[in-house]
Amino acid sequence: MGQLLVALDVESGHRALELASTLHGVVDGVKIGSRLFTLEGPALVRRLTDEGTRVFLDLKFHDIPNTVAQAVGAAVATGAWMVNVHASGGIPMMQAAARAAAETSARLGQSRPLVIAVTVLTSMDENTLRAGGVERPLFDHVVALARMAQQAGLDGVVASPQETAAIRSACGPDFAIVTPGIRGASAGSEKNDQARTMGPAEAVKAGASYLVVGRPIIAASDPRGAAERIADEMKAGV
C-alpha cells in the first residue's frame, strides 16, 4: 500500500519522458491526464508502457455506456495499467467499462488494467456539490459513489485523502483507493486548486493504495529529490 504515482501534467511529451527517466526507481508509475494526452495522444502512452513504465491513463470517461466501453477498449490497447471513469455516470456505465476492459485485454492477450471511478473531484467542496443539486453531505456522497463502483465490478476509486478511511471501511481491504490532493510537509503547503488535502504519511495511514502527486514533484528544482522525500514520508505512514 501507499505507492507513489507522479502526475505528468507537463507541456510536452519530451518533458514527460525526461521526467519519467529522472524519476525511474523512485516513483511507482506515472499519470497522464487530459492535457498531455490531448497534446501527444496514445503514442506517448505506448512508448512509456513499452519501456516498462506503469501508466495511469486519467481521462475520466463519462458518457453513455456504449461510448465509454469503446473508449475503455481504446485505452486498454495503449497498454495502460490503470484507467478511470466518473462514478456519477452510473452503475450501467461502470459495468460497461469493466466488461470492455476484460474483453479487450483477453482479445489482445494482455493483462487487464485496473478500472477505477472518480468519486468527487478534490477541487470541489460542500457548496460546489450543493450548487450542482447534490443535497447529501459530500462525505456521504463520496462513500455512496465508492459503494456503487464496487457494486459495478470496478477495482477502486479516486477520492480525496479525507474520505479514504471511510471508503476503506465501507469497501474492504482489497478495494484500490487512489488519492490525489497530497499537500503539506514534503509535498509542499500550497493547495493550488485542491480543496480537500492531506499529507503523504497521513494519507497512507488512512488507507490509500496509491498517492498521486504532481506539482510538488514536477515543479521542484530537483524533481527526484522531491519524490524521494515524499516516498520517505509515505514509508513513515505504513
Beta bridge partners of 143: none
pLDDT for the residue 219: 95
Q: What is the pLDDT of residue 184?
A: 56
Q: Please, are residues 147 and 129 in contact by the beta-carbon 8 Å criterion?
A: no
Q: Which residues pair with 210 in a beta bridge?
A: 3, 178
Q: Which of 47, 29, 52 is nearest to 37 (CA)?
A: 47
Question: Which CATH number goes with the domain that contains 10?
Answer: 3.20.20.70
| pLDDT at residue 181, as a whole number | 80
Q: Which three cell numbers stand for residue 15?
A: 518533458
- According to the model, what pLDDT value does residue 77 have? 97
Residue of 60, 191, 205, 235 with catalytic role: 60
Instruction: Dump the DSSP string for 178-236.
Output: EE--B-SGGG-S--TT-SS-B-HHHHHHHT-SEEEE-HHHHTSSSHHHHHHHHHHHHHH
In which residue are the cell numbers 514533484 written?
217
pLDDT confidence of residue 198: 80
pLDDT tens digits for range 129-160: 999 999 999 999 999 999 999 999 999 999 99
218 burial type by CB count under 10 A (0-12 exposed, 13-18 middle, 19+ buried)? buried
Q: Is 205 a catalytic residue?
A: no
What whole-number distance in Å separates Cα of residue 238 and Cα of residue 223?
A: 23
Digitized pLDDT (tens) for each residue of the chain, 238 residues in all: 569 999 999 999 999 999 999 999 999 999 999 999 999 999 999 999 999 999 999 999 999 999 999 999 999 999 999 999 999 999 999 999 999 999 999 999 999 999 999 999 988 999 999 999 999 999 999 999 999 999 999 999 999 989 999 999 999 999 999 999 886 554 555 545 545 568 899 999 999 999 999 999 999 999 999 999 999 999 887 6
Write out the residue range of the structural domain in which residue 45 sits.
3-237
pLDDT in tens, 40-72: 999 999 999 999 999 999 999 999 999 999 999
Decide: 72 and 104 in contact? Cβ < 8 Å: yes
Count structural domains, the chain. 1
